[in-house]
Amino acid sequence: MPNVVVEPATPGDVVATWRDLWNGEVIFTPRGVFSPRDVVGLAARDRNNRMVGLATYAVRDRVAAIVTINAMLDGNGVATVLLERIIAAARAAGATALVATLTNDNLRAFAFFQKRGFRLTALRPGAMDAVRARKPKIPLAAPNGIPIRDYIDVERDL
């Protein structure tokens, strides 16, 4: 387990992370557009109080949706800790399912979720074309060379 403390994120944490890592101030998802005030944020901080991970989620109608999840350092288990905290919080809030949406280029996220109990539930072909029209900073292709085009939905029971 990584040596981090997970605590509620400040609105500034969410705004800064979305601006720096998500190309804008809001997140487009199949369940609607989320602004920072629509989500619960969890920040993981190391012993120097540096933010090393941030996750945001929202619970509606017994379904919890992960809006974003980021680990600023690779491979140290921060994303896993954040996911575990979301699962616990979502259960406490009465949610019975946890959903997430990733893009077709994001093979690491696809592996991450599938290794942690999530099942593929749907493909939304071409969804990112519409998102890109509203968020022009989203590149045509990811750094791994894969064109960014589609949403892939994953889901697990809680």
Binding site for other proteins (CB under 8 A): 104-105, 107, 110-111, 114-115, 119-123, 125, 144-147, 149-150, 152
- By C-beta, is 62 or 108 nearer to other proteins? 108
Q: Which tokens belong to 7?
A: 């605590």
C-alpha distance from residue 137 to each of 82, 114, 131 (Å): 27, 28, 10
Q: How far is the CB of 122 from other proteins (least distance, A)?
A: 7
Q: Contact at 8 Å (CB) between 156 and 119?
A: yes
Q: Contact at 8 Å (CB) between 102 and 116?
A: no
- By C-beta, is 5 or 123 nearer to other proteins? 123
Distance CA 132, CA 148 (A): 10
Q: How far is the CB of 82 from other proteins (least distance, A)?
A: 20
**Taking the mean position of all CA atoms in its chain, how far away is CA 116?**
14
- By C-beta, is 60 or 108 nearer to other proteins? 108
Sign of CA dihedral 129, 54, 41, 87: positive
Q: How far is the CB of 104 from other proteins (least distance, A)?
A: 6
User: HSE on the CB side for 1, CA within 13 Å?
Assistant: 9
- By C-beta, is 34 or 151 nearer to other proteins? 151
Q: How far is the CB of 62 from other proteins (least distance, A)?
A: 22
Q: How far is the CB of 55 from other proteins (least distance, A)?
A: 21
